Structure formats: structure tokens, C-alpha cells
Amino acid sequence: MTIACGIDIGTNSFRLLVAEVEDGHLHPLVHDLVTVRLGEGLGKSGLLVPAAMLRADAALARFAGIMAAYPLHSVRACATHAVRKATNRDEFLQRAEALIGPVEVLSGEEEARLALLGVLSALPEDLRRYPLLVVDVGGGSTELILQATAGNEPRVLSLPLGAVGLTEEFAADLESMREKIRATLAPALRNIFEGGMLGQDVSLVASGGTATSLAALALGLDRYDAQQVQNYPLSQATVGRLVAWLATLSPTERNALPCLADGRGEIIVAGAVLLQELQQALASPVLVSDAGLLEGILLSGITDS
């Protein structure tokens, strides 16, 4: 039995997972999430602002304390869109590495492949229908990963669309937000579904905070339950209903909803609209995966160590 740790340094939230790993299966020991909003203001300034850096320091110091309690075989910490794009990324990386050790900055394509690895680790064989498209809606970017058949090399795309960035750019102007999303999605889907596959029935699996939060809301959970969320199907009608309802609430009211704590309510509408537009473009229901990038980071750390 191997004990390993994965850390996802995201644009909106930082996540840590410590788990026992046996034959590729994860048995979580501790999971922690801190809403850092590292990408605050990044779209305008190109910088990680001082307040966000301080929040990041506090979150990583907290993670370091958790990690110290376990005999870890491997630790892999990865940063995504916000650090990728920031002109002061070196300063952030120095501060982060002083707290938790080496931090890798993932390319969009690497991020996508790790998200697929994490999703497949928790997706039962009987639910693996091909072509399989995994979407991971993040704070700063959205990854699309297409696997045509079980043995095929996946095709990956990283799109400059994320729940934090869209919220900062458009706020409550959902029509303008939809126009940008559609203008970005249409060529991306034609690209990834080369050779006429776009008209086929596609199995759509969504990971990340947007999808899991929508599933929790659809289930009416009082508190988040990963087992109920894992493999939960979201129909187009359900996503449409949730988007319409959430858009009528203020950010404060959304933050007060069960499973939307830690500021998720401020960005959930943008993430949900993005997922809705993708779902409508493919005319497909969504299967929600609680596992994704974080699990992929942890598993890849074992493989590489």
C-alpha cells in the first residue's frame, strides 16, 4: 500500500488529496480545499496580485501541516492557468516551493491529460462509452479531452475560458458571455472532432467544481457527498433549470446555498453557462465525475517517482 499526495494549485481554489493507492485505486485519507482566488484581476493586470499571493501562502502553509502527518511515498504539486499566465510566476513559485517543495506549472495539454487520468480512475467500465469527451471547467481555462476508443491516444484542447475569467469579464451579462463561449467552442469542437465524428453520439463526462456543484444542487444535498455526486447524470433540462434559477440569485444568496460555500456562488453561473453551451452543442447529457485533475496529479506522481 502506497501513501501519496497530490496538490492542485488552481485559478480559483487550491486542493490537496492524501490517499492510499492500491492497484490504481485511491482510498482517500484526507481531502482539503481552500478558495484562494489566485487569478483575481489576472485578466486585466497579467499579475498575481499581492492579496492573492498572501491567500496562497496561507493555504499552502495549511497543506504543509497536513502533509507532515503522513509517511508520503510521493508528492506532486501542480499549478494551472493562473500561474501559467502570470508575468510574476517566478515570485509565486519561489514562495510556494519554500512551503511545500517543488511545484510544476502544467501546460494546458498536460492539465487535460491528467484530468482524463483522474476521471478514468473512478469511472466504472460499464459507463465507459466511446467516443468519450471529458470536460474540466476550471477557474481560468477549460480542458477538453476526446478519446475516440478505449485504445486510442486522446486528443486534447485547452480553451481560454474559465469561471473566474468569465465572471470578471461579463458579470451578469449572460448574453455577451454566451456569445464569447459559443465563438470559442464552435471551432474548438470542429478541431477536436476531426474526421466527421462531431455528428456521432458522444459520451460527455464533466469534472471540476462547476460540474460537481451543479450535481450537488440537483441532488438537493445539505452537504457535499462525493459518493452521490460521482456518476450523477445531468440532463440538458436540469442544467437549464439550474442556470435559470442561479441567475436570479445574488452572489451572496448563491454563496449561502448548501455546497456553494467558500465563494463558489460568485462564479458558479459562468461555469454553468459554459457547461450548458457545451452540452447543447453536443446534444448530450452530462455524467459528473467527482474525480479529475487532482486525482490525476496524485496518480501520475506515483508513476513518475
Asked whether the beta carbons of 229 and 288 are under 8 A apart, the reply is yes
DSSP 70: S
Q: Within the chain, which residue ranges are assigned CATH 3.30.420.40?
A: 2-108+294-304
Q: Can you give the pTM of this predicted structure?
A: 0.90
Give the span between the Cα atoms of 37 and 209, in whole angstroms: 13
Asked whether the beta carbons of 169 and 156 are under 8 A apart, the reply is no
Residues whose CB is less than 8 angstroms from the CB of residue 54 and which lie 6 or more positions away in sequence, other chains included: none
Topology of domain 2-108+294-304 in CATH is Nucleotidyltransferase; domain 5 (3.30.420)
pLDDT at residue 196 is higher than 70: no
What pLDDT, in 10s, does the model give residues 285-298?
999 999 999 999 99
List the strands of the sheet with 232-234, edge to edge: 155-159, 142-147, 132-137, 203-207, 286-288, 232-234
Return the higher-pLDDT residue of 200 and 34.
34
What pLDDT, in 10s, does the model give residues 43-81?
889 999 999 999 999 999 999 999 999 999 999 999 999
pLDDT at residue 199 is higher than 90: no
Closest CA to 12 of 135, 122, 163: 163
Q: What is the mean pLDDT of residues 159-169?
A: 94
Q: Within the chain, which residue ranges are assigned CATH 3.30.420.150?
A: 124-288
pLDDT, mean over the chain? 93
Using alpha carbons only, how large is the chain's radius of gyration in Å? 18
Instruction: Report the 10 Å Cβ neighbour count for 195.
Output: 6
What pLDDT, in 10s, does the model give residues 235-278?
999 999 999 999 999 999 999 998 886 789 999 999 999 999 99
Topology of domain 124-288 in CATH is Nucleotidyltransferase; domain 5 (3.30.420)
Predicted local distance difference test score (pLDDT) of residue 198: 62
pLDDT at residue 171 is higher than 70: yes
Q: What is the mean pLDDT of residues 143-162?
A: 91
Predicted local distance difference test score (pLDDT) of residue 58: 98
Percent of the chain with pLDDT over 90: 86
